[in-house]
Structures are given as C-alpha cells and as structure tokens.
C-alpha cells in the first residue's frame, strides 16, 4: 500500500500503482469528470500515471490555470492529427504552448492560405466530436526512433537523437496519429472544445536561418465560449492599436530595409522619446544614480574577458580597424565596470550607482524583428549598482518602490512580481545564492507585494526579479528587472578596499525599469491607442484659424503657448475649418483651439478637448493653467 496526501492535508491509502485517474474517481465523481491531469510531489503528470510510493497528490481540473495550459498543449497535438489526415506528406516539428494559446511548426510541400487554415479548423472540430481517448505510451529512444522513422518524420528523429539513450520517451496516440511529448495531455478530446486557429507564419527549424523554413500554425484555446470570444475581441482591439500602424498614421516613426530592425524617428515621435527619456533621467537623479556614457565600439579583448565573446558572439555586430577586432556593444555592463575600475574604491563609497541611456546593437534574426518590440538597435534605461552583499536588500527595496511609482506615472497600476532562483548550472557558492535569494525575497515582502517564485529560472550568475505590467487590454509585458551578478565583477577584476584594508569583489546589481525605451514607447502607444496623456503627447495643442483674417491672432496664440512650454502646432492654411479639426483629431491631439473672428475680437479661444468636451470661450492663460496642472499631475 502507498499513502497519498491531498492538498487539504487528508491522507488516503491505495494499492501501489494506482493511477491518478483512479485516485480522482475515489475522491469524487465530479472531480473525476473534470480531471485533466495530476501532480505527484508537485510534478505535473498524466492521469494514466500511477503512484509508486508515499507522496503528495493534487488533481488538476480543466478550470485550473495549469489545466488550461494542458488543454492548449493538447490542442497543438490535435492540429497535428488534423494536418496529417489532410496532408499525409507533411512533416511535424514542434508544437508548444505559448501565452494564451499554442502553435505547431510543420513542413508542407506548398504554402498554406487562410482558406486552408479554415479547412484545418473544420477537421479539428470533426475530430473533437469523436470524443476519443488520448493514449500515453512510454518507450525507449530506440523504439521512438523506429516509430517516427517509419513515418518519415525527420524533425522528430532529430529531436530523439538529442535525447540521452537512458531516458524514456512518452508517445501520445490520437487514434492513428502518434506524437511525442513530455506531456501531460488531456485523457480525452471531450475537454477540447473552444478554440480558434488564428494565423500562419514562417519559422526556421530551431530558430536557425540556415535551416529550412517551416510553416507555423497559431491557435488559441479556452475553457468556455465566453472566454474565447472575449479573447478574440481583445485581439481585434489589439490590431486596431498596433503601434506600427499608429506610428505611421500619427507620423511618429517608420522602418525601412536600409536599416532592418532600426527606427527612423520623425519629429513628433522623437518628441515623445525625449519626454520619456527626460522623465527617466530625473529618476536617475532622485535615485542617486550618476549618469554615464560608454563607447559604442569596444575591443574584442574586453568581450572575451567578460565572457560575451564566447557565449554571445553570434548576436554581436563586429568590425575591425588597424588589425584590431571590435564589437558594437550588445549591453552596457562591461563598460560600467570599466568606469568602476578607473579609480580605487573604498567600502565607504558603496553603493556606487551608474545609469546610462545605452544604445545597444544585437544581431537578432530578421524573422524575429517586430516593430518597436524587437529591434537590432535599442536603448536601455540601464543602471548598475556596485554594492556589498549586506546592501542588496535595501537597494532592491528602493528600486522596487521607485519602479512602482514610474509605472503608476505612466498609467500602469497592476504589476506582477517574479523571483527567479538558482539554476542547476551556476557560479558562486550555495551559501551566497541563499543569502542573495533571501535578500530579494525580503525586499519584495518589505514592499508588501505578492510574488511568485520561478525555481531554477535565475541566470547562471545570480538570481533576479522580473517586473511585468498589465496594459489596458489585460496583456502582460515584462519590462523591469533587477539581477544579482556574482560573475562579471570577478571576471573583470572589480575590487574595493574593505574596512580591514583587504581587497573584496563587489556584488553587481543590473537594473532597468522600462528595459528598452523603444519597446516601452510601443507599449505606451498600444496601451493608450495612440491617445497619449497630455503630459506625454508630442503635440499637446493644435491651433486652427477659420480664415486667413485670423492668422495673426492665431500665430500669437501659438507663440504664447510655446512661451509657456506647451508643445503646439498651428494650422493657418486656407482650408475648411472642419478639415483642419479632423486632421488634428486623427492625430489624437488632446486640445484643439479654434480661432474665428469672435475669438479675435474678444482676445479669447474656443477649445475642443479630446473626448468630446468643448469650451466655447476662455482666456488663453486659463487654458495654459489647466494644461500645466495636467502636466504637473501626469495626466
């Protein structure tokens, strides 16, 4: 007999090798009907897996978040089943879960169209209605190789060849279709109901442009029709807010093939950039960071010493001159360490904080580029803190409080906090890792926030906290981070003189609040649908005259606003006033001033406020006071 412990502390005894499915049924019929998987000592397993020893058991249902992830993963296999029935010669690659859905990379003889996608969706619906069992079978790599070799599944064979010979592989049988996966998966297709195939894209096998281009079928899946429809509605709204479309229509920026993955900023877009940068520059000041600037191109020898040349070279742009090899910096930290090294430092100086708006270049694959969200040239609000171990907690606490205020000022109230802890391969002692992880955890607790632990997700050089914000559509964006680094200071010889005159290696904290300024501006554009708050709007006021007779007065209004530091443009063209107002409205300008003969006579202005409010007549200084107050309050 084996004893299992349920989440509520209840203990039950079962015959050894009792399946999770049978355990679920013994608890209650209703639980059994909703069960999609289980956990044995915290590890997700298929319902067909049996308990072998005393353990903790938790049954996962379709209404749990983990259950939804399993449903999405199972839908990826269902795509494979449908595709192989329709296209027997197609070759299956990988089909993982992603945020809100799944995809499957497949090699087809011909390119798929949108109509093909609809046909595949219809086939999936046909298979779902059969309510067939999904059967798990454990085999050796040799047996799996034989199965997929007979089916000419080249990509599955490549995956198997990378699996150690002593490991076992789980095959999942969907009627005549067989796939391979770690699992778990739903026990029956009755759990697979509410889905939509969303798009087709290209993807290189294993992300390498030297490999063959596959076709990636994306889909989404949910637990109810209402959840599915709500998601599809959000997607439609997101398309309307696409920062690439808005960036073009608002005349903020553009991209072109002469500089792939790099931005051509137009005057209005650059004005927005400077507002964001100047705000963040003030954050450096109030947080006691000293702003620095490091070279863009640095000798290869420094990148070798930092370890980037060995581990990151394929993402680095390189050049040479006078028989020396250089790399354009992909990150700012080695440069900041050089500034630290330029003087002998004392423990009394720590913590030392350097901040830079560092322009970085990374040789991202062309297929991964995506507007402002994924670039080859981007700018980080990058900060590095050189401190002692004892100072980590206080620095992380201060940083977190500062980050919360920044996100709030930009209009984001909801933040997710994730602490990534030690991976299996790492530098530094376990004692040092424990102290650092505890310092990060205590800092988050002191701030008073809920956070989740991501076990084993830390970098090899230290643990980290990731800060993600939620936008107006409920989408989550990982932006901020603070990372503990035991490795780089030691590699680059960073030292300070301790109280006993010994030389010690400082801890390096990597910190960023928004991450990439370009990406953050893209998030802002989409969050507000281009209708940026007054303090962020590159143009805060548009002034339009009804006829040329008011041109001089309109010009004086424009100049008066400029003198008060308000960003303004005037339209004195000989065009209909309705046309001018429409252009300003499409540009999402917060305030539109209309000047006619009556306004000229009364030395006043008529104002249309974005959102529909109108002020028939007011003095210019009254409007200036209102705008200044909104800017001061960051609205």
89 occurs within a structural domain: yes
Alpha-carbon gap, residue 35 to 66, rounded angstroms: 11
At residue 210 the predicted structure's pLDDT band, cuts being 50, 70 and 90, is confident
More confident residue, 616 or 401: 401
Opening angle at CA 483, ends 478 and 485, nearest 5: 155
> What average pLDDT does the structure give for the chain?
94
- The pLDDT of residue 460 is 84
Asked whether residue 46 falls in the same domain as residue 77, the answer is no
Dihedral angle computed from the Cα positions of residues 136, 139, 142 and 144, in that order, rounded to the nearest 10 degrees: 0
Q: How many helices (DSSP H) and strands (DSSP E) are in the chain? A: 20, 34
How many domains are there within the chain?
Answer: 4
Indicate whether 332 pLDDT > 90.
yes
CATH number at residue 564: 3.40.50.800
Whether 169 maps to a domain, the answer reads yes
Using pLDDT thresholds of 50, 70 and 90, give the confidence band for residue 569: very high
Best CA proximity match to 514, nearest among 367, 625, 411, 376 = 411
Check residue 310 and give its pLDDT: 86
**pLDDT tens per residue, range 84-125:** 999 999 999 999 999 899 999 999 999 999 999 999 999 999
Is the domain of 577 the same as that of 503? no
Whether the per-residue pLDDT at 164 is higher than 90: the answer is no
Known catalytic membership, residue 491: no
Selecting among 215, 380, 504, 550, the annotated active-site residue is: 380
Choice among 116, 381, 382, 471 that is catalytic: 382
Parent domain of 570: 541-632
Measured distance CA(528)–CA(537) in Å, rounded: 11
For residue 129, the model assigns a pLDDT of 93
Mean pLDDT of 175-190: 94
| Residue that terminates a domain, selected from 472, 502, 527 | 527
266 is catalytic: no
For 227-286, write each residue's pLDDT tens digit: 999 999 999 999 999 999 999 999 999 999 999 999 999 999 999 999 999 999 999 999
Q: Does residue 138 share a domain with residue 92?
A: yes
Percent of the chain scored above 90 by pLDDT? Answer: 90
CB neighbour list of residue 181: distance below 8 Å, 6 or more residues apart: 73, 77, 170, 172
pLDDT beyond 90 at 209:
no
Compute the C-alpha angle 308/366/103, nearest 5°. 100
Strands 318-321 and 324-328: antiparallel
Instruction: Based on the fold, state whether residues 71 and 208 are members of the same structural domain.
Output: yes
What average pLDDT does range 437-449 have in this prediction? 96
pLDDT value at position 508?
Answer: 95
**Across residues 213-224, what is the average pLDDT?**
96
Same domain, 73 and 55: no
Question: Does the annotation mark 333 as catalytic?
Answer: yes
Q: Which of 73, 362, 422, 426 is catalytic?
A: 362
- Name which of 507, 538, 7, 453 is nearest 252 in CA terms: 538
Last residue of a domain, one of 28, 46, 61: 61
Q: What's the pLDDT at 82?
A: 97
3-state secondary structure 299-363: EHHHHHHHCHHHHCHHHCCEEEECCEEEEECCCCHHHHHHHHHCCCEEHHHCCEEEEEEEEEECC
Determine, yes or no, domain membership for 627. Answer: yes
Shared-domain flag, residues 413 and 547: no
Per the CB < 8 A criterion, the answer to whether 497 and 503 are in contact is yes
Active site residue 233: no
Tokens found for residue 148: 């997929």
Largest separation between any pair of C-alpha atoms in the chain: 97
What's the whole-number mean pLDDT along residues 420-448?
91
In a domain, 619, yes or no: yes
Helix spans in 348-461 (H) = 392-409, 430-447
CB of 419 closer than 8 Å to CB of 465: yes
The answer to whether position 279 is within a domain reads: yes
At residue 20 the predicted structure's pLDDT band, cuts being 50, 70 and 90, is very high
List the catalytic residue out of 77, 464, 580, 600. Answer: 464
CATH of the domain at 185: 3.30.980.10
pTM, full prediction: 0.85
- Whether residue 321 lies inside any domain: the answer is no
**What percentage of the chain reaches a pLDDT higher than 70?**
100
pLDDT of residue 454: 92
Q: Indicate whether 352 and 225 sit together in one domain.
A: no
Q: Are both 227 and 259 inside the same structural domain? A: no
For residues 74 and 192, membership in a common domain is answered with yes
Do residues 43 and 80 both lie within one domain?
Answer: no
Report residue 327 as tokens.
């790399």
Given this model, what pLDDT does residue 492 score? 95
Catalytic residue among 384, 426, 511, 567: 384
Residue 605: other Cβ atoms inside 10 A: 26
Task: Check residue 635 and give its pLDDT.
Answer: 86
Q: Indicate if 522 and 554 belong to the same structural domain.
A: no
- Residue corresponding to tokens 């109810």: 224
Is 464 among the residues known to form the active site?
yes
Which region among 22-26, 47-51, 426-430 has the lowest average model confidence (pLDDT)? 426-430
Same-domain status, 379 and 516: yes
> Is 8 a domain residue?
yes
Checking if the pLDDT of 207 tops 90, the result is no
Domain CATH for 25: 3.10.20.30
Structure tokens belonging to residue 576: 């209909």
In this prediction, residue 595 carries a pLDDT of 96
Would you say residue 143 lies in a domain?
A: yes
Answer whether residue 365 shows pLDDT above 90: no
Q: Which of 466, 492, 527 is the last residue of a domain?
A: 527
Per-residue confidence band for 444, with pLDDT thresholds at 50, 70 and 90: very high
Q: Of 136, 156, 361, 510, which one is the catalytic site residue?
A: 510
pLDDT confidence bin for 427, thresholds 50/70/90: confident
Indicate the pLDDT class of residue 394, thresholds 50, 70 and 90.
very high
pLDDT above 90 (res 616): no
Sheet containing 324-328: order of strands? 297-299, 324-328, 318-321
The pLDDT score that the predictor gives to residue 43 is 92
Q: Is residue 382 among the annotated active site residues? A: yes
Name the catalytic one among 181, 294, 333, 387: 333
- Specify the pairing of strand 101-107 against strand 213-222: antiparallel
With 90 as the cut, is the pLDDT of residue 22 above it? yes
């Amino acid at each position: 007999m084996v004893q299992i412990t349920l989440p509520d502390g209840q203990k039950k005894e079962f015959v050894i090798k009792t399946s999770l499915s049978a355990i679920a049924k013994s608890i209650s019929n209703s639980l059994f009907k909703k069960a999609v998987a289980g956990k044995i000592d915290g590890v997700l397993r298929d319902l067909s897996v049996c308990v072998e020893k005393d353990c903790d058991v938790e049954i996962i249902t379709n209404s749990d978040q983990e259950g939804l992830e399993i449903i999405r993963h199972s839908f990826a296999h269902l795509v494979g089943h449908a595709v192989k029935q329709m296209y027997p010669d197609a070759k299956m690659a990988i089909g993982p879960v992603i945020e809100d859905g799944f995809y499957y990379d497949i090699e087809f003889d011909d390119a798929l169209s949108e109509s093909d996608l609809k046909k595949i969706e219809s086939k999936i619906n046909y298979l779902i209605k059969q309510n067939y069992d999904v059967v798990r079978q454990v085999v050796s790599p040799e047996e799996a190789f034989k199965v997929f070799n007979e089916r000419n599944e080249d990509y599955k064979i490549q995956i198997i060849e990378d699996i150690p010979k002593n490991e076992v592989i789980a095959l999942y049988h969907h009627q005549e279709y067989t796939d391979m996966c770690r699992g778990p998966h739903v026990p029956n297709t009755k759990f697979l109901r509410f889905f939509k195939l969303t798009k087709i894209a290209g993807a290189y096998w294993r992300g390498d442009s030297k490999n063959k281009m596959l076709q990636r079928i994306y889909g989404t899946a949910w637990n109810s029709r209402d959840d599915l429809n709500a998601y599809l509605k959000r997607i439609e709204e997101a398309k309307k807010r696409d920062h690439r479309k808005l960036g073009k229509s608002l005349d903020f920026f553009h991209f072109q093939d002469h500089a792939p993955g790099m931005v051509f900023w137009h005057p209005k877009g650059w004005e927005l950039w400077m507002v964001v940068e100047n705000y963040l520059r003030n954050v450096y000041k109030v947080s006691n960071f000293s702003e620095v600037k490091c070279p863009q191109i640095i000798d290869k020898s420094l990148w070798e010493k930092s370890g980037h040349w060995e581990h990151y070279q394929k993402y680095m742009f390189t050049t040479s001159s006078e028989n020396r090899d250089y790399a354009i910096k992909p990150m700012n930290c080695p440069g900041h360490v050089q500034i630290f090294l330029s003087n002998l430092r004392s423990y009394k100086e720590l913590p030392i904080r350097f901040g830079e708006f560092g322009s970085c270049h990374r040789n991202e694959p062309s297929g991964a580029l995506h507007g402002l969200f994924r670039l080859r040239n981007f700018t980080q609000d990058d900060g590095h803190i050189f401190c002692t171990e004892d100072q980590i907690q206080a620095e992380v606490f201060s940083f977190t409080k500062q980050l919360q205020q920044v996100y709030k000022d930009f209009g984001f109230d909801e933040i997710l906090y994730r602490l990534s802890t030690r991976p299996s391969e790492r530098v530094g002692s376990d004692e040092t890792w424990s102290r650092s992880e505890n310092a990060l955890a205590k800092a988050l607790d002191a701030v008073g926030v809920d956070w989740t632990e991501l076990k084993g997700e830390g970098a090899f050089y230290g643990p980290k906290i990731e800060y993600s914000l939620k936008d107006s559509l409920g989408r989550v964006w990982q932006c901020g981070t603070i990372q503990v680094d035991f490795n780089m200071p030691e590699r680059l010889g960073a030292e300070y003189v301790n109280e006993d005159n010994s030389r010690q290696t400082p801890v390096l904290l990597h910190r960023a609040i928004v991450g990439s300024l370009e990406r953050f501006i893209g998030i802002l554009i989409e969050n507000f649908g281009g209708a940026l708050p007054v303090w962020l709007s590159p143009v805060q006021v548009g002034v339009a005259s009804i006829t040329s007779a008011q041109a001089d007065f309109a010009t004086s209004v424009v100049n008066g606003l400029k003198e008060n530091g308000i960003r303004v443009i005037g339209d004195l063209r000989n065009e209909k006033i309705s046309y001018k107002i429409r252009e300003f409205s499409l540009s999402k300008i917060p305030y539109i001033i209309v000047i006619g003969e009556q306004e000229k006579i009364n030395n006043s202005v008529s104002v249309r406020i974005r959102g529909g409010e109108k002020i028939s007549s007011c003095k210019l200084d009254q409007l200036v006071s209102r705008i200044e107050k909104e800017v001061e309050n960051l609205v």
